[in-house]
Amino acid sequence: MRDGGFPVDDEDVLETMARMLAAAGETEAASLIRSGRCKFEWDHRDNWNGGTDCYVLRIAIAAENFVAIGDRKTALEGVIVKRLEEAASQFGTDWYSVALSPMIVSMPGRPDLEGGPVSYSVRRAIIDLLRQEDVPWRCELSDVDFLAPVFDLDVMPSHDSRFKTAGQDIWQHRVNNPEDWPDDWIFTDERFNLLGGPDVTFLAFVERLVAPKVRPDRKLASAMVQRMNEELRRTSWTLVERETLAGDIRYRAEPFEPVLLRSLQTMRASAAILSSSWMHQELERIEAAIDTDPALAIGTAKEMVETCCKHIVDALNIPLPANPDMPDLTKAVLKALKLVPEGISDEAKGAETIKRTLSSLGQITKGLAELRKLYGTGHGRSSVHRGLTARHARLAVNSASAFVEFVSSTYLARKTPMPQDKP
């Protein structure tokens, strides 16, 4: 027993469970294990069989995913606990349960661990921007009224020996005697540490800058948001309009690429299905290059699709022509998995729509190959050549994800038993 925790290494058990779930075709459950925040908790001890420890595996997932699960929550918990019991049975006869829950995020209400770190250079650039603004950072509010929703001014210390708290200190020198401190004092005050403090605090400060009660002029707020987003997006954050319960529009800091994040998570699940360590390596390259080296990310997205196809080709012993290219690989895999449009009856409802949709899978791989050729590395360029940007790289990655997820999940569904064509 490890201090009341799980009797073996938590991460090892979770990885084993995720692989078991993926191998059994329970891809959604496997994805919850890999993407959620998992924690084993000792719950209680029962007197049964001389004493049995009872554990709960708590899995916190994004609120949006929790809502999407809906009525399937109990079934998914049952699927996961079954694999947990199988994986942990070798360590004793303890009891286990699983509890799915929405991920709780602290104020100011964003998943601060899902975006990138807000670097010093980005903070510096935003602060420099605020110093250049004609309108003060606090707008028409007092310094105390602006800061109170973000910082606990009654707990923070005073710099003035006459007062106990930062709130009293600020009121004295910015409200009672407004000329005591310069207007930009907040940017250098170590108590607030906007340049080096926690990301969540800096993002809360940024949100406050464009809150309706602070900056009621929506045109001014929108212009400020646009300029700050140019910096924030360098670290995978962005200010997004959100409507409050009162009908007001306010800006919230959110991870910049939730779609991209889901695509990467999807491809990780696919790599687990195919037991492909090489695909995991390709994913690492994509994540590292998506913003800094779009050409590399595009090329690796194409390679991800190619690796997926080759794995299935090898697993099913599919015959191929000598030196197959991407179209050859794609066509062979789609045919082996019974996904070619010719396999759909013309009498089937929506046949033409289904045909077009399935045909687009081949177009994805064709497009990725062409992008790799035109904009990837390995070729000299003219002086007027302009490469693609990070947004084009994200398009390539999202497209690759759609192909890999559909093909790998279909492969898993048909692998056992895999229908064999008659000679």
In terms of domains, do 386 and 357 share one?
Answer: yes
Give the pLDDT confidence of 174-212 residue by residue, as tens digits.
999 999 999 999 999 999 999 988 888 899 999 999 998
In terms of domains, do 126 and 240 share one?
Answer: yes
Decide which of 240, 255, 270 is a domain's last residue: 255
In terms of domains, do 275 and 407 share one?
Answer: yes
In terms of domains, do 27 and 124 share one?
Answer: no
The CATH number assigned to the domain holding 69 equals: 3.30.300
Q: Give CA–CA dist 333/121, Å, rounded.
A: 47
Position of tokens 């509890």? Answer: 99
Is residue 194 one of the residues assigned to a domain?
yes
Is residue 322 one of the residues assigned to a domain?
yes
Is residue 420 one of the residues assigned to a domain?
no
Q: Which of 85-94, 335-344, 372-381 has the highest mean pLDDT?
A: 85-94
**Would you state the pLDDT for residue 322?**
80
Is residue 163 one of the residues assigned to a domain?
yes
For 265-328, give the secondary structure using H, E and C: HHHHHHHHHCCCHHHHHHHHHHHHHCCCCHHHHHHHHHHHHHHHHHHHHHHHCCCCCCCCCHHH
CA atoms within 13 A on the CB side of 411: 27
Decide which of 50, 73, 102 is a domain's last residue: 102
Is residue 83 one of the residues assigned to a domain?
yes
Is residue 109 one of the residues assigned to a domain?
no
In terms of domains, do 195 and 229 share one?
Answer: yes
More confident residue, 389 or 296: 296
Is residue 55 one of the residues assigned to a domain?
yes
**DSSP per-residue codes, 357-401:** HHHHHHHHHHHHHHHHHHHSSSS---TT-----HHHHHHHHHHHH
In terms of domains, do 163 and 142 share one?
Answer: yes
| Banded pLDDT at 418 (limits 50, 70, 90) | very low
Q: Give CA–CA dist 174/210, Å, rounded.
A: 21
Provide Rg for the chain, Cα atoms.
Answer: 27
More confident residue, 229 or 104: 229
Is residue 422 one of the residues assigned to a domain?
no
Of residues 95, 92, 183, 85, the one with CA closest to residue 134: 183
Q: Is the pLDDT of residue 303 over 90?
A: no
Neighbour count for residue 394 (Cβ, 10 Å) = 22
In terms of domains, do 248 and 125 share one?
Answer: yes
In terms of domains, do 84 and 65 share one?
Answer: yes
In terms of domains, do 263 and 411 share one?
Answer: yes
Decide which of 102, 135, 154 is a domain's last residue: 102
**Would you state the pLDDT for residue 380?**
45
**Would you state the pLDDT for residue 4?**
41
- Which domain range does residue 212 map to? 120-255
Q: Give me the number of domains the chain comprises.
A: 3
In terms of domains, do 90 and 124 share one?
Answer: no
Cα four-point dihedral sign 120, 238, 39, 17: negative
Give the pLDDT confidence of 107-153 residue by residue, as tens digits.
443 444 445 688 888 999 999 999 987 778 999 899 999 999 999 89
Neighbour count for residue 86 (Cβ, 10 Å) = 12
CA angle 232, 237, 243 (to 5 degrees): 110
In terms of domains, do 162 and 16 share one?
Answer: no
Q: Give CA–CA dist 334/326, Å, rounded.
A: 12
More confident residue, 413 or 157: 157
Buried b / exposed e along 170-188 (16+ C-beta atoms within 10 A)? bbbbbeeeeeebeeeebbe
More confident residue, 145 or 93: 145
In terms of domains, do 267 and 387 share one?
Answer: yes
Give the pLDDT confidence of 214-270 residue by residue, as tens digits.
998 888 888 898 889 888 877 778 787 776 555 567 888 887 665 666 677 778 887
Return the amino acid letter for 407.
Answer: V
More confident residue, 135 or 364: 135
More confident residue, 141 or 363: 141
